[in-house]
Chains A and B, each alone.
Chain A
Amino acid sequence: MGSIKPSEVSAILREQLSGFKTKSDLEEVGTVLQVGDGIARIYGLNNVQLGELIEFNNGLKGVVLNLEEDNVGAVLLGKSEGIKEGDVVKRTQQISSVMVSEKMLGRVIDALGNPIDGKGPIEGEKILMPIERKAPGVIYRQPVQEPLQTGIKAVDSMIPIGRGQRELIIGDRQTGKTAIAIDTIINQKHFYEQGEPVFCIYVAIGQKGSTVANIAKTLEDAGALDYTIIVSASAADPAPMQYLSAYAGAAIGEYFRDTGRPALIVYDDLSKQAVAYRELSLLLRRPPGREAYPGDVFYLHSRLLERSAKIIDSDKIASQMNDLPEALKGKVKGGGSLTALPIIETQEGDVSAYIPTNVISITDGQIFLEANLFNSGVRPAINVGISVSRVGGSAQIKSMKKISGTLKIDQAQFRELEAFAKFGADLDPVTTSIIEKGKRNVELLKQPQYSPLKVEEQAAIIYCGTKNLLSEVPVSKIKDFETAFLLLMNNKYLETLKALSRGELNADIEEKIKIAASDTVEQFKKDNG
């Protein structure tokens, strides 16, 4: 137990007693028949609904997941210690839901919306959002059209993500999956400062408590926690909490989405959520299927990711959205979005395992990270060849689209020839030039962690790569070139950068970039080096 400041005592008392009921009602009850492994079987509770929260004698909550002929199967949202056979269980008449509030920003909460960061109770107006909710129908959606800037050159140029898209981040352990997600969150700071925040929700599922603490600290240090909510169901939490946390995160994201604002949600990671769901399904004696996952494991992820959407601009149509929670009625605005970045961890690069194939087919593209690339120093270790974004292209800003148009093909060609060149054969000048350009582009696309770039800076630097302006700079000097070039652009050609950020790209702008590049190249020419 930590020490409590005297000033906090009254706040705690007020908070705890605020919900204390002195009046009692006739409540529907059941009795515990059997308890163990985080599952309870209950006799009675005849009118209980599927997904309803129930309360045990000692205040522990549970969720009803099985309604059987002669008993009710429920999962416990906490330790099963202290619950005995014959204990009374009460209905709460409330489908499992989470209280959402604007004041949650900057906080770390558990799957039920309770704060766990030791910063006291969450204040402000609270809105009850159901954890399980149907995704918006076709009429209430519109195609992805605005970009969600990740600040990562390789992603924003070749695998662009739009607001409302679901882009999978997939790779082995230790390949930088979380880093991409965290960088994306940090990159939204720019928009937050401009007064157009993209609210971020980071759902940590089955991770170490220390990892969550680290991420909270990283975001705080980067000034990104002010617009971020961390939902944590760590490895120490029971499986039902891990399973529910993703839906709780989605419910929070939906609050921002349906009130007309853009939100970004990171599920880190869905493989662990599937494992948690498998655990409780097996304990509830649902029949196992492939890899012992239950039959509805596809639906587990599809219904979750389907809740990410770009909502139609019209307030009138949006306000008629299906399955709106009672508390949200009258507050709905159009034009909001919920972008999802689900993360899947593969084993030994095996993307054909059950969960990875499922999630790949559900999402609108994937960013594939490879251990080989990571180990050879290409970071972020994105395999550009098999990474795709199915809808993000239309959301890319025009200047970036024009500039990076050929980059992906160039790189594909380079990789093919690079493999060939390894045999040491003499190469013709065209091939050599493609390989040299490719090597420089690879260097250009490298980017250190926690240092996202603005889209106009990315466009300018990638322009140098695709137009082969760097042929005279040695590969080892590309990083230094980039720093110097961006410094020059920011100091001397700020207007050009601004035009690029507006999506403009004309002969004048191209000329200015070329001049800046050639000026910088002078410093790094092979002879000088």
Chain B
Amino acid sequence: MNNERLAIRYSKSLYVLSEKQNNTEVVLRDLKEVLSIIKQSKDFKNFLLSPILKTNTKIEIIRKVLETSISENTLKHIILITKNTREAYLSQIISNFIKLYRKQKNILSIKVKSPHGVHKDQKDLIIKYLGYSENQKIDFQVEINKSLIGGLVIEVDGKQLDISILSKLQTLKTKFSKNLYIKQY
């Protein structure tokens, strides 16, 4: 399920409110916590997506699950989202909030996929290669992905540098999947 426009609206309203109340950092931490719960617990994700459960039941469960781990303000907002029956888009709203936060605070997000992880030296090298100064605030995320076999995939600002062995092999595979000496009609 994907609804970009909806996610932008909810995340923006939450961001503006949090800035007014001067607790953006708290809300961000809370939301990251919720996002990790959604990612880790399949049951919780399915629960959010479920169309069978009534809104009141959902609100009660959400309150019970999140009450202890997140602040009251964030919880209120999540409950509002649930009341409006938009809880299925929660993870998207949170991702958008994080994006918005980064944009406002001028933080650059670099995501690196690698089969073995990234050393500190490598990290500096990547940042240098991408042409960013040391003063730039960077949110550097590393994702271990064994299927890449070797090499790296660097994602930054809607762009991607794919120097993984997997992609090279895939290119070769597609190149060889066509045989121009076989009639195709």
What residues of chain A have their CB less than 8 Å away from a CB belonging to chain B?
Answer: 1-2, 4-5, 8, 12, 15-17, 19-22, 24-30, 33-34, 43-46, 57-59, 69-71, 88, 90, 108, 110, 114-121, 209, 212-213, 232, 234
Contact = CB atoms under 8 A, between A and B. Distances in A.
B176 A24 contact: no
Interface in B126-185: 155, 158-163, 168, 170-185
Given A25-B161, A29-B160, 7 more contacts: A1-B179, A1-B182, A5-B181, A26-B160, A29-B159, A58-B170, A117-B185
B84 interface: no
A24 B165 CA distance: 12
A93 B4 CA distance: 25
B175 A17 contact: yes
B171 A21 contact: yes
A5 B2 CA distance: 50
Given A19-B175, A118-B184, A57 B158 contact: no
A24 B178 CA distance: 23
Given A20-B175, A26-B161, A57-B170, A234 B185 contact: yes
B185 A26 contact: no
A88 B160 contact: yes
B3 to A, nearest CB: 8
Contact of B185 (A30, A114, A232): A232
Interface of B: 2, 4-5, 8, 155, 158-163, 168, 170-185
With most chain A CB atoms within 10 A of its CB, the pick from B158, B159, B174, B181 is B181
15 contacts: A2-B183, A12-B181, A15-B180, A26-B160, A29-B159, A43-B4, A70-B4, A70-B5, A114-B178, A118-B181, A118-B182, A119-B180, A119-B181, A212-B185, A232-B185
A22 B168 CA distance: 8
Given A29-B158, A59-B174, A120 B181 contact: yes
A55 to B, nearest CB: 10
Closest 10 CB pairs of A and B: A59-B174, A118-B183, A70-B4, A116-B184, A29-B160, A209-B185, A16-B175, A33-B2, A24-B163, A2-B182
Contacts of B170: 57-59
A20 B160 contact: no
B103 to A, nearest CB: 14
A26 B183 contact: no
Contacts of A110: 184
B5 A24 contact: no
Nearest to B153: A88
A326 to B, nearest CB: 26
Given A43-B4, A212-B185, A59 B161 contact: no
B180 A121 contact: yes
Contact of A116 (B174, B177, B185): B185
A496 to B, nearest CB: 46
A4 B162 CA distance: 34
Contacts of A45: 158
A8 B180 CA distance: 10
Given A115-B180, A118-B184, A120-B181, A28 B174 contact: no
Contacts of A15: 180
A12 B176 CA distance: 9
A1 B158 CA distance: 40
B6 to A, nearest CB: 10
A209 B176 CA distance: 24
A424 to B, nearest CB: 54
A121 B181 CA distance: 8
Contact of B179 (A4, A30, A70, A108): A4
Nearest to B5: A70
Given A4-B179, A33-B2, A118-B180, A20 B185 contact: no
A212 B181 CA distance: 18
A287 to B, nearest CB: 20
Nearest to B184: A116
Contacts of A88: 160
Nearest to B175: A16
Given A57-B170, A213-B185, A12 B158 contact: no
A27 B180 contact: no
Nearest to B174: A59
A234 B185 CA distance: 8
Nearest to A44: B158
Nearest to B177: A59
Centre residue among B162, B163, B179, B180 by max chain A CB count within 10 A: B180
Given A29-B155, A29-B159, A4 B171 contact: no
A332 B122 CA distance: 52
Contact of A27 (B8, B160, B177, B182): B160
A116 B183 contact: yes
Contact of B159 (A8, A26, A69, A70): A26
B158 A20 contact: no
A229 to B, nearest CB: 14
Nearest to A91: B159
A8 B181 contact: yes
A70 B92 CA distance: 13
B159 to A, nearest CB: 5
A20 B161 contact: no
A463 B3 CA distance: 73
A28 B159 contact: yes
